[in-house]
Amino acid sequence: MVVKVGINGFGRIGRIVFRNAYVLSKRTVYLCI
Each domain of the chain, given as residue ranges in start order, spans 3-32
Query: What is the distance between the alpha carbons of residues 33 and 24, in angstroms, rounded to a whole number?
Result: 20
What is the model's pTM? 0.42
Question: What is the model's pLDDT at position 23?
Answer: 74
* Amino acid 13: pLDDT: 77
Residue 33 has pLDDT above 60, yes or no: no
Q: Is the pLDDT of residue 20 over 70?
A: yes
DSSP per-residue codes, the chain: --EEEE-SS-SHHHHHHHHHHHHHH-S-EEEE-
**Tens-place pLDDT, residues 2-19:** 767 665 667 787 788 777
